[in-house]
Structure 1
Amino acid sequence: MSTRARARTLGLTALVAALVAPARGLAEDDEPAAIDVTVRGSTAPSFVARVSTDDRAREPVDAASMLAELPSVHVRRLGADGAQSTLSIRGSASTQVGVLLAGIPLTSGADPTLDVGALPLWPGASFRVYRGFAPASLGATGYLGGVLVIDPPTSLTGARTESQLLAGSFGALKVRAGDARKIGDVTLGLGVFGARTDGDFSYEVEDPRTRDLVTRTRTNAGVVSAGAIGRVALERSWGTLGATFLADARRQGLPGSATFPTTLPRLEANRLVVGVDATVRDLARGALRLQAWTRREGSHYTDPNGEIDPTRATNAATQTILAAGGSVGYRRAFPRLLRSTLGVFLDARGESLAPPERVGVSASRLAGGLGVELEARPVESLRLFATARLDARRDRATGLADSLANDLAPSGHLGASYRFSDALVVSAHAGALRRFPSFVELYGDRGSLLGDPRLRIEGALAADAGVSGDVAAGRALFRYELVAFVTSARDLIVFLPLGRSTFRAGNVDAARIAGAEASASLVHENLATTLSYTFMHTENLGADPLSRGRPLPGRPMHDLSYDAAYRIGPVRLRYGIDAVAGTTVDTAGVLQIPPRLFHGAGASLDVPGVSSLRIGVEVQNLFDVRTFRVRSPLARTSVALPVSDFLGFPLPGRTVWVTARFSPSSSSR
């Protein structure tokens, strides 16, 4: 595993939890009323959730909190703002979620999990989450849960210049600025960002002797980060030429768990992503798109006193991930043949992982895929979809586990959508998904995680079906989406305990994940409410008698997000609820993470006389909930545990943010 992922939390226990993680709200940018809060379904080839900094009831503090409001999307945090956070979709592991920026993959075999806690925000930042299935054109080779797509800054919604300042609890300070406009045939979009936080907060634990609550302080959790993202495109009559980049750097402490806190370990990480693309239109009644990209990620880890792992041969390590690739795709419409559209796509990439200090395994991968998409509309109300991909990989590893592997993995799905009216759209999809194991799963990390080069490719058969629609009555607009989904997975890759603080990768023979997603919004004049709820049932169907029939760890049974906002002249008030419950920790399904119910509130003011300035306050965990009592099967009584997404990594209590947003060239949002 990369040093970055290895060092982020004590003993990598956090990453192990992330490898078994889960689900959830939906937003789009239509603005029918005074408050920009909307929820809407999709008739795309899969169920898609969208969210942007411009259309939220809550002040967009970080990307992790924005994504956590989406249906079937679950974000697991390991501390306060800026701490490592992992993403799960429909009960997937974080390694099973593909992440792309404008078609450029940000996850790979060398670094399979994106830390959404480190994902930056900029004015106008927007994200799309494909739940379950994604278009073959994305080139997201190897995912089981879904795909997160990050949209670069754009002027498609109009010219804008905006800056933001956020100051919060625990020494947090964030600045963002962005500009997007069109100058002649050139469209420009740029965002810059910087943040810092002490990250230290107090939490409560139970003294095992007196049973009294004892207050402790989490330390060594400071984070400093900065970066920029941008896109430039030249529009011509024949097509478009464009370029996208993302550059950021980050320095953070590694605080460890509540049981084993640390004082000195640090991680420094940097990333540079550059891509160029071209689109040629009206080429034999079609469009040709080409893209080339490169990505470099570096990390430097230090642990001078060996607090994280005293058994390691070195307490400092530098590691580099290099990746490059490209894609070509052609899409053509056939209006006389069932009004159909056919797309063919080819993508390839190469990546390498250089081992720290020349110890461990040096690994490289050549991977690519051929994809086909077909859409037909035999009648106006009916849309039919079909996608198919064939992905291949060639791995080479030298060091402690010299090996060579070659594999092919077919995948694809069918879908249909029928619009009875705007108030009722019925959609369904079914297909097969595959994922190649990552380097850390194959070769381990020379520490707490032990790999297995014999791991089998993960696979799943999945299906979903749902209804969505918009119902307008006078000045009120109600939008809803109800979806049921089921996944039958085989050869799931998990890390299983092997003694104290050591875990070995292995395949779970079979597992089932089923659930339901519900999202809705109601907008009426100055009132807007949104609701997102996910219910999920999981079952381990493997051969191990201790875990067979038990729920899969790390997947919450209930996940709820609700917000209500009301505007009174220049003042906007908000109240919200976030609840997560029913998350088990162990494979036997006995230990549970304490359920959490957080209330939040916010208020903002469009400053009179300065229409482009908005100031506000946002309060998270309004009632300062920091502990919850759960029944212990060992003590046969209830014990107090810190509220957390993963045992041992408490979440902060009440958090206050003061915000200011200045938009001189656009209307106040």
Structure 2
Amino acid sequence: MTRRSILVLALVLHASGARAADDPTAQAEAPPAPQGPVETVEVRGAAEGPAALDATAFATVIRAEDFADRVTSVPELLREAVGVQVKSLGGEFATVSIRGSSAEQVVIYLDGVPLNHALGGGVNLADLPLGQVESIEVYRGFTPAGAPAASIGGAIMIHTRRAGTIPSASVSTSIGSFGSGEAIASVSGTRGRGDYAVGFDGATSSGDFEYLNNNGTPHNPTDDRTLRRVNNDFRRGHLSGRFTIRGGPHARFSVATDLFARRQGVPGLDCCRSPEARSTTTRLLVRPELEMPGLLGGRLLARVAADYTLHRQEFDDPEGSVGLTGRKTDDIDSNRSHGPEAAFVLAVPRRQAISILASERWETATLEDRRLPGPTDLGTASRRTTVATLEDQIALGTDRLILNPSVRYEAYDSLFRPGAAGGLVVDLRGGRNTTGKIGFRFRATDALTIKGNFGRFLRLPDFIELFGNQGSVQGNPALVPERGRSADLGVTVATSRREQGVLRHAFFEAILFETVAEDLIQFVPNSQEVVRARNLDRARIRGVELSLALALGRCFSGSLNATHQRPVDISGRYTDGEILPGRPLDEVSAGAALDIGRGRAFYEFTFVGRNFMDTLDTPSEALPARYLHDLGYRARLRKGLQATIEIKNLANEHTYDLVRYPLPGRSVQGRLAWEF
């Protein structure tokens, strides 16, 4: 491998959301990056290809062409990926976990900006509309060194659409059951040395599907009733844009913007309806970025970026029907974050590429409850985080063996200043932590690859865990970060793609993984109505991931993803040896597609095993297994114009998720899309 090709490979592996392949001039200036650093799982059709940030990690890449003929969403696509679990409330709220992690232990990025905020809670996947998404990368168990924020479960990178070499535009509209509808429009083009891509999408739904209400008595079926979901409606709008200017062969400046707004109902559990609670979410994201490839005679890539994010959420519960205490609330949480980052990739002799990342982030959250008697200002929490990473990618034996060690240093300080509603000033000393990861990829033959990784990561306590919410949650400033060590080992077998023949392509992957997490933060009751966060639990998750993809003949393609895991409590307390709640042992997703003339028929199957909901694994409280079947057909009506009809939950199964939130039954959706 030449020094120049090492740099190109490092650029592809390290640039966060801004790859050379996205720029036609960059493609002309440098040879393409070698394919195959990361063999990926076929999620739908042809989802294989290199993930951008880590050559040795096991990752899934989902591209726009993989879901172009479907009426789907980000949560549905992630649910089909191996090793990924999605928890849904049956409306506009869903979170993701990877390899048995919690939702808080997965960092989600949008165009290089981390969406997890220090106020707490996992990222709501419904805040990520699919209409403007170009690709999704799922890193299982490990966070790449090129990402400024890391955690125990892994990372998900979402990239929005960019301008191509030819101006284009597209529009689509869809309608479906339960009063659902969506409209999407996008346009992109070039002008001189610059290009642009702008997109808009809006959606609405009443969410009034039928479900089985057990009236809070799961052991007494005589009082069960079939009702319609109420207060499950939503409306959302989303506008995104990216503008790029090329300043010659060694400079490229871009600005990415994203504006999102949604208003929705909060319907409550199956037995305990919440007819009045509402939630409003707004998000603004701005990220300018300057890339300077090809410096020092082609040996150095430099990238400098900054971002600003505003996230505001209001939750109004005038009847106190949501939560354990019955307290009426009108909470407003505003979270602001900003910070710079700089990354450098240097190609050095002996087939090495050294990568350095430095970032700093300031985050401030203001809390208010308008239903408090008297002053409503609860206070302001702030955090400053400094991150530095160092990665050395070493290629040996004409790229047959790649070693990828990295180290990450994090320093943070947190502060809470109470508002007029009262409280004490809490100034934490913060902490300093050093973690790291080492991985390898060995290409035994052109078809067989062996990979493995070992590393340590952590998750910082969020503001609610540290400082509480002046209500039923009491904070604990003495909390330490959750820590975890992860290891995996797997083999990938992939044949070369052929245009003709009985077997055009085959892909198989088998992975063993283990994660041991310590100092897990749990809320422990202090009294009948107050809980306090403490570092108590220790857990071990072991499992296996299997993936298979086939392309047979001229018309058929199929995929199968299966995950078996055993997430066990090893805290030494009375729950020792029990399965962790909310983590099913088995999940399977399968898909098949058949090209028929000018159309394509496709089928999706999803299985989610029995899911315990309490720490003692009470069988009667467990959610039953789910078997879901989806069927659809896409027809090409004319050049650029296609129509899709899809039936979800074909058998009309009444299913539940996450402490008995009902999920929709059978639904029918249709879409008309035009590209020109």
The TM-score with structure 2 as length reference comes to 0.86
Which stretch of structure 1 is more off in the superposition, 396-405 or 522-531? 396-405
* Corresponding residue number in structure 1 for 2:195: 187
Q: Is the contact between residue 47 and residue 63 of structure 2 (CA under 8 Å) also seen in structure 1?
A: no
User: What displacement does 1:251 show?
Assistant: 0.4
Partner of 2:104: helix, strand, or coil? helix
User: What displacement does 1:324 show?
Assistant: 0.6
| Aligned with residue 556 of structure 2, among 502, 516, 527 | 527
Letter in 1 for 2:252: T
User: What displacement does 1:49 show?
Assistant: 0.9
Q: Is the contact between residue 124 and residue 153 of structure 1 (CA under 8 Å) also seen in structure 2?
A: yes
| Aligned with residue 442 of structure 2, among 408, 414, 418 | 418
The CA distance in 2 between the partners of 1:253 and 1:272, in whole Å, is 22
Task: Determine whether 1:571 maps to 2:583.
Answer: no
User: What displacement does 1:201 show?
Assistant: 1.3
* Corresponding residue number in structure 2 for 1:300: 314
Query: How does 1:266-277 map onto structure 2 within 5 Å?
Result: 266-277=278-289
Going from structure 1 to structure 2, the CA distance change for 1:398 and 1:124 (only over 3 Å counts) comes to: closer
* Corresponding residue number in structure 2 for 1:536: 565
Partner of 1:138: helix, strand, or coil? coil
Letter in 2 for 1:416: F
Going from structure 1 to structure 2, the CA distance change for 1:252 and 1:498 (only over 3 Å counts) comes to: farther
* Corresponding residue number in structure 2 for 1:377: 395
* Corresponding residue number in structure 2 for 1:5: none
Query: How does 1:391-406 map onto structure 2 within 5 Å?
Result: 391-399=410-418, 400-405=423-428, 406=430
Query: How does 1:159-558 map onto structure 2 within 5 Å?
Result: 159-206=167-214, 208=217, 209=220, 211=222, 213-235=224-246, 236-284=248-296, 285-308=299-322, 315-334=329-348, 336-337=349-350, 339-357=351-369, 358-380=376-398, 381-399=400-418, 400-405=423-428, 406-472=430-496, 475=501, 476-496=504-524, 503-524=531-552, 525-545=554-574, 547-558=575-586
* Corresponding residue number in structure 2 for 1:11: none
Letter in 1 for 2:206: D
The TM-score with structure 1 as length reference comes to 0.87
Going from structure 1 to structure 2, the CA distance change for 1:305 and 1:121 (only over 3 Å counts) comes to: same
* Corresponding residue number in structure 2 for 1:16: none
The CA distance in 2 between the partners of 1:536 and 1:156, in whole Å, is 41
User: What displacement does 1:341 show?
Assistant: 0.1
Partner of 1:136: helix, strand, or coil? coil
The CA distance in 1 between the partners of 2:157 and 2:96, in whole Å, is 13
User: What displacement does 1:26 show?
Assistant: 5.5
User: What displacement does 1:565 show?
Assistant: 0.6
Q: Is the contact between residue 361 and residue 401 of structure 1 (CA under 8 Å) also seen in structure 2?
A: no
Partner of 2:321: helix, strand, or coil? coil
- 1:429-485 CA deviation, whole Å, 9 max, x = no partner? 101111111112212233444332222211111111111132247531011221111
Going from structure 1 to structure 2, the CA distance change for 1:165 and 1:114 (only over 3 Å counts) comes to: same
Partner of 1:137: helix, strand, or coil? coil
Q: Is the contact between residue 452 and residue 487 of structure 2 (CA under 8 Å) also seen in structure 1?
A: yes
* Corresponding residue number in structure 2 for 1:596: 626
Going from structure 1 to structure 2, the CA distance change for 1:299 and 1:582 (only over 3 Å counts) comes to: same
Going from structure 1 to structure 2, the CA distance change for 1:589 and 1:125 (only over 3 Å counts) comes to: same
* Corresponding residue number in structure 2 for 1:631: none
Going from structure 1 to structure 2, the CA distance change for 1:501 and 1:517 (only over 3 Å counts) comes to: farther
The CA distance in 1 between the partners of 2:633 and 2:658, in whole Å, is 31
The CA distance in 2 between the partners of 1:96 and 1:214, in whole Å, is 37
Letter in 2 for 1:479: F
* Corresponding residue number in structure 1 for 2:126: 117
Q: Is the contact between residue 45 and residue 135 of structure 1 (CA under 8 Å) also seen in structure 2?
A: no
* Corresponding residue number in structure 1 for 2:671: 659
Partner of 2:491: helix, strand, or coil? strand
- 1:257-310 CA deviation, whole Å, 9 max, x = no partner? 122211111111111000101011232220111001111112233223333359
Going from structure 1 to structure 2, the CA distance change for 1:205 and 1:261 (only over 3 Å counts) comes to: closer
Task: Determine whether 1:139 maps to 2:144.
Answer: no
The CA distance in 2 between the partners of 1:653 and 1:499, in whole Å, is 39
The CA distance in 2 between the partners of 1:317 and 1:190, in whole Å, is 33
The CA distance in 1 between the partners of 2:236 and 2:50, in whole Å, is 35
Task: Determine whether 1:61 maps to 2:89.
Answer: no
Letter in 1 for 2:492: S
Going from structure 1 to structure 2, the CA distance change for 1:266 and 1:580 (only over 3 Å counts) comes to: same
Going from structure 1 to structure 2, the CA distance change for 1:52 and 1:158 (only over 3 Å counts) comes to: farther
* Corresponding residue number in structure 2 for 1:14: none
Q: Is the contact between residue 71 and residue 646 of structure 2 (CA under 8 Å) also seen in structure 1?
A: no
Q: Is the contact between residue 401 and residue 443 of structure 1 (CA under 8 Å) also seen in structure 2?
A: no
Partner of 1:325: helix, strand, or coil? strand
Letter in 1 for 2:656: S
Q: Is the contact between residue 41 and residue 480 of structure 1 (CA under 8 Å) also seen in structure 2?
A: no
User: What displacement does 1:312 show?
Assistant: 7.2
Partner of 1:66: helix, strand, or coil? helix
Q: Is the contact between residue 459 and residue 481 of structure 2 (CA under 8 Å) also seen in structure 1?
A: yes
* Corresponding residue number in structure 1 for 2:108: 99
The CA distance in 1 between the partners of 2:526 and 2:653, in whole Å, is 34
Partner of 2:76: helix, strand, or coil? helix
User: What displacement does 1:228 show?
Assistant: 0.9
Partner of 1:67: helix, strand, or coil? helix
Going from structure 1 to structure 2, the CA distance change for 1:191 and 1:301 (only over 3 Å counts) comes to: same
Partner of 2:151: helix, strand, or coil? coil
User: What displacement does 1:166 show?
Assistant: 1.4
The CA distance in 2 between the partners of 1:171 and 1:288, in whole Å, is 49
- 1:469-512 CA deviation, whole Å, 9 max, x = no partner? 32247531011221111011111123346676764422234210
Q: Is the contact between residue 573 and residue 602 of structure 1 (CA under 8 Å) also seen in structure 2?
A: yes
* Corresponding residue number in structure 2 for 1:584: 612
Partner of 2:544: helix, strand, or coil? strand
Which stretch of structure 1 is more off in the superposition, 575-584 or 310-319? 310-319
Partner of 2:264: helix, strand, or coil? strand
The CA distance in 2 between the partners of 1:597 and 1:161, in whole Å, is 38
Letter in 1 for 2:134: A
The CA distance in 2 between the partners of 1:305 and 1:491, in whole Å, is 36
Q: Is the contact between residue 69 and residue 644 of structure 2 (CA under 8 Å) also seen in structure 1?
A: no
The CA distance in 1 between the partners of 2:93 and 2:526, in whole Å, is 24
Letter in 2 for 1:386: P
Partner of 1:211: helix, strand, or coil? helix
The CA distance in 1 between the partners of 2:338 and 2:549, in whole Å, is 42
* Corresponding residue number in structure 2 for 1:153: 161
Partner of 1:355: helix, strand, or coil? strand
Q: Is the contact between residue 326 and residue 347 of structure 1 (CA under 8 Å) also seen in structure 2?
A: yes
| Structure 1 unaligned blocks of 5 or more | 1-24, 30-34, 627-642, 665-669
Partner of 1:455: helix, strand, or coil? coil
Letter in 2 for 1:197: S
Number of residue pairs matched by the alignment: 611
Letter in 1 for 2:613: V
- 1:99-119 CA deviation, whole Å, 9 max, x = no partner? 112221111212442100231
Q: Is the contact between residue 214 and residue 270 of structure 2 (CA under 8 Å) also seen in structure 1?
A: no
